[in-house]
Amino acid sequence: MGWGRFALRRLAGTAVVVLLLSAGVFGLLYLAPGSVQQTLLGTRPATAETIAAIQARYHLGDPVTVQYLRWFGDVLRGDLGTSIRTGAPVSGMLADRVPLTLALTAYGTLLAALAGIPLGVLGALRRGRAADRLVVTAGVAGLSAPPFAVGLLLLVVFAGWLGWFPGYGTGEGLADQLWHLTLPAAALAVGAVGMLLRFSRAALVRELDQDYVVFARARGLAAPVVLGYALRNSLVPMLTAAGLVVTGMLAGTVLVEVVFALPGLGSLLVDSVTFKDVPVVQALALLLTLLIAAVNLLVDIGYALADPRVRLGGGAS
């Protein structure tokens, strides 16, 4: 099959997904209770002027498909409309808040990967022993903990009782910002650690049971080489987990940003949802869709890198 066709097919698939979801995002306008016009007016008075402005912008008289196409065209030109709540352009609001959320997600992913994967490998290598049971228990606990609860518990313990970390705010300068983001990132990472740990442990346990591992040991390959074989083969399920972790973390940022009062995309989403600021919600939903699609595309490319059968179109066996 080769790289070119593979990349083309995956890109086309991603584009279809984004288009489908963008239609859903546009549909949010019609989902909101009350008429579209009311929704877009928000708390503004329904004067002839404001209604005309809305008409000019949204062409509510046109068929829905035409409205969608216009809206999508505006989006492609970078025009995301204006916030009902503040009247400011949505694109600017997003631009202000994207860096924080991305930094938080990246930080959280890093923490999760640094803790989750080594622990999963440790559990698989010590299968059935005390260390493994501990790892498995930690994994279950992590998976069961909602980020907001973890965040608050961390706040109570590390900011309240121990006072090691700041409780609120984003800090000034790189080091201080990292300092401030540590607790939120840790709150995000706890669930992700649980997931990464489970996937990597399960994948490695499965691979270590395979014939090729026994054969490799039987012909005298050194233990690190054998482990390398097994790790390489458990890469694909780990990539799946990594994808789920990153997309799940985008959802987690909403909760964590609220808990720690951080001005990111998540807290903006909650504020906009509460205020029924539909244009902002739409823009956020679209942005998150793009981010998720990008992550999934990266995971797909990762599969192809990790497994020659994917890119060379080999058989199942």
Partner 1 sequence: MLRVEGLSVRQPATGRTLLSEVSFDVAPGESVAIVGESGSGKSLTARAVLGLLPAGLAASGLVEVGGRRVDDDPRAQRRQRGSTVSLLMQDPFTLLNPLRKAGKQIADGLPRGADPKTEVPRLLAEVGLPADVAGRYPFQLSGGMRQRVGLAAALAAAPRVLLADEPTTALDATTQREVLALIRRVQRERDMTFLLITHDLRLAFSMCDRVVVMYAGRVMEVGRAADLRREQRHPYTRALLAAEPPADRRLAAIPAVPGSVPAHDAVAGQCAFTDRCSLALAECRASVPPLRPAGDAGRLSACVRAGDLPAAPAPPLGVAAPVRTASEPVLDLRGLRKTFPGSARPALAGVSLTVAPGEIVAVVGESGSGKTTLARCVTGLERPDAGTILLGGRDCSDYARMSREAVRQARRTAQMIFQDPYSTLNPARTVGATLKEALVADGRPADVAALMELVGLDPALAALRPANLSGGERQRVAIARAVAGEPALLVCDEPVSALDVSVQAQVLGLLAGLRERLSTGMLFITHDLAVVRQLADRLYVLKAGECVESGPVDRVLDEPAHPYTRDLLASVPDGTSRWPG
Partner 2 sequence: MKRTPISVWAALAVLAAVTAAAAFAPWLVPGATDQDLMTGITGPGPGHPLGTDDLGRDVLDLLIAGARTAVPGAFAVAAGSMLIGNLIGLTAGYFGGWADTLAMRWADLMFSLPALLVAIVVAGVLGGGYGLAIAVLVVLFAPTDTRVVRGAVLEQRHRPYIEAAVLKNLSAWRIMTRHIWPNIASVALANAFLNFAYALVSLSSLSFLGLGVAAGSPDWGRTLADNRTQLLANPWAVIAPGLAVIATAAALNIVGDWLHERVDRRGRAR
From partner 2, partner 1, none, which one binds at residue 77 (CB under 5 to 8 Å depending on kind)? none
CB neighbour burial string for 55-72, b if at least 16 within 10 angstroms, e if fewer: eebbeeeeeeeebbeebb
Residue 251 interacting with partner 2 (CB under 8 A): yes
Which span sits near partner 1 by CB under 8 A: 14-22, 129-137, 156-164, 305-313?
A: 305-313
Residue 53 interacting with partner 2 (CB under 8 A): no
Which span sits near partner 1 by CB under 8 A: 81-89, 177-185, 225-233, 251-259?
A: 225-233
Count other C-beta atoms under 10 Å from residue 163's C-beta.
9
CA 122 to each of CA 128, 136, 197: distance values in angstroms, whole numbers, following the listed order: 11, 10, 9
Residue 31 interacting with partner 2 (CB under 8 A): yes
What lies within 8 Å, CB to CB, of 292 at 6+ separation is: 247, 250
Residue 306 interacting with partner 1 (CB under 8 A): yes
Residue 225 interacting with partner 1 (CB under 8 A): yes
Residue 315 interacting with partner 1 (CB under 8 A): yes
The residue among 214, 222, 152 whose CA lies nearest residue 183 is 152
Site string for partner 1, 69-108 (x = CB under 8 A): ----------------------------------------
Phi and psi at residue 126, to the nearest 5°: -105, 35
**DSSP 3-state assignment of 255?**
helix
**Residues from 120 through 179 that contact partner 2 (CB under 8 A):** 137, 140-141, 143-150, 152-153, 155-156, 160-161
What DSSP line would sit under 287-308, residue for residue? HHHHHHHHHHHHHHHHHHHH-H
What DSSP line would sit under 9-20, residue for residue? HHHHHHHHHHHH
Q: Of the candidates 238, 250, 287, 301, which one interacts with partner 2 according to CB under 8 A?
A: 250
Q: Which is nearer to partner 1, 45 or 315 (CB)?
A: 315
- Here the tokens at position 123 are 């559990």
Residue 288 interacting with partner 2 (CB under 8 A): yes
d(CA 292, CA 17): 10
Q: Which is nearer to partner 1, 57 or 206 (CB)?
A: 206
Q: Of the candidates 141, 214, 261, 294, which one interacts with partner 1 according to CB under 8 A?
A: 214
Q: Which is nearer to partner 1, 110 or 214 (CB)?
A: 214
Rg (CA), the chain: 24
Q: Which residues contribute to the site for partner 2 (CB under 8 A)?
A: 17, 20-21, 28, 31-33, 137, 140-141, 143-150, 152-153, 155-156, 160-161, 243, 247-248, 250-252, 254-255, 258-259, 269-270, 273-274, 276, 278, 281, 284-285, 288, 292, 296
